[in-house]
Chains A and B, each alone.
Chain A
């Protein structure tokens, strides 16, 4: 841990306090950083399925360059509106935010993304919920991606 940097405490609290709740801001740990001068580091991709991808295999449906030459940290926020023929277990939500898939217990269909050293790739998986096969036609999804400057090299700042 460095013995230099910036620390700001809450009002009437000592900046030397060991109590985390007393500290407003500190450079003890590096901030997660998004560089707005990099064009595609903060982006929304809207997907609509007019056709079905092959069944029971993870299919690439779109990719774009993230602008870095290493594998960065990436957050993703999905908004998914599953089409009428995506099969789910009873009482399972068909629409979701975040990382949600259409069912946690049986991955019958899902959307996902992966970040590589140059690109972010969006995938679709069209599965079945026995005995029938889902159709993704009519499914729409928006993915907001947050591409950080930071990479995934092991680090320990604690």
Chain B
């Protein structure tokens, strides 16, 4: 469905795949020249790391442990917000405005960056071989564990990835107060918006922002700030009254590989 008004996308800031690092190819593929989709693992993939999982209530002030504002979601909260509600943040703390489990991810929302992934998701469960790959166990966990929770990294498992973080740094001259990005993935992506807030202004939960404050911009009509998305394009405004001209949109894409099931249900 179309979004109310589509502006001009931010200027591209595509990074290049590195020509070094760690790559592991699927069986019978040449790691030196095969496509990304034929890899089991590539250290250039922008997989999403988990920094913290914490039970919180509205009004909590939670240090995220990073040196920059990052992405966090409430996974479960008040009913009408349903799921994956974002959290206000600054360079030190997170400010949940809901009660539930908050998961903090390592995604710097201040650095403008696009990752060069063009492939769609490939169902690939049949290509996994158990006798090679890469895995790193968590501290004190067994590297031979069958429980995937015991691993920091396991090449059998895929992760959603950051497709782009777009900021005020690359806004289009045609609409200098809009940060906008359009995915070329060919399927809907998870899109989120943040609006910069000046230090000392209040978070949604009534706390004072510190340095580099960002307010999560819901997608619901009437919210201020607000992020609009149709699953492909996402934009949010830079509010002059809110900030020193900062805003970000974050676009997350599906894992490189995963089995896909579909079911239709009528009620």
Contact = CB atoms under 8 A, between A and B. Distances in A.
Interface of A: 2, 5-6, 8, 10-11, 20-21, 24-37, 39-51, 53, 58, 61-62, 64, 73-79, 81, 88-89, 91-93, 95-101, 103-105, 107, 110-115, 124-125, 144, 146, 149-158
Given A27-B152, A46-B264, A93 B84 contact: no
Given A46-B262, A158-B65, 16 more contacts: A20-B106, A24-B43, A25-B44, A29-B106, A32-B159, A41-B258, A41-B259, A43-B263, A45-B263, A51-B267, A76-B83, A98-B191, A101-B82, A107-B80, A150-B53, A151-B149
Interface string B74-96: 01100111111100000000000
Of B18, B73, B192, most A-chain CB atoms within 10 Å:
B18
6 contacts: A26-B49, A92-B222, A96-B219, A98-B229, A125-B79, A152-B53
B221 A93 contact: yes
Given A48-B267, A150-B50, A158-B65, A35 B139 contact: no
Interface residues of B, number: 87
Nearest to B258: A42
Contact of A53 (B3, B123, B124, B267): B267
B66 A20 contact: yes
Nearest to A11: B18
Nearest to A58: B79
A6 to B, nearest CB: 6
B37 interface: no
A39 B261 contact: yes
B194 interface: no
Interface SS of B by simple majority: loop
Interface in B36-73: 43-45, 47-55, 63-68, 73
Given A32-B160, A76-B83, A98 B267 contact: no
Given A20-B67, A37-B125, A5 B152 contact: yes
B255 interface: yes
Contact of A61 (B44, B218, B219, B267): B267
A30 B219 contact: no
A18 to B, nearest CB: 8
Given A46-B264, A98-B190, A74 B75 contact: yes
A24 B21 contact: yes
A24 B79 CA distance: 38
A95 B53 contact: no
Nearest to B265: A62
A134 B160 CA distance: 36
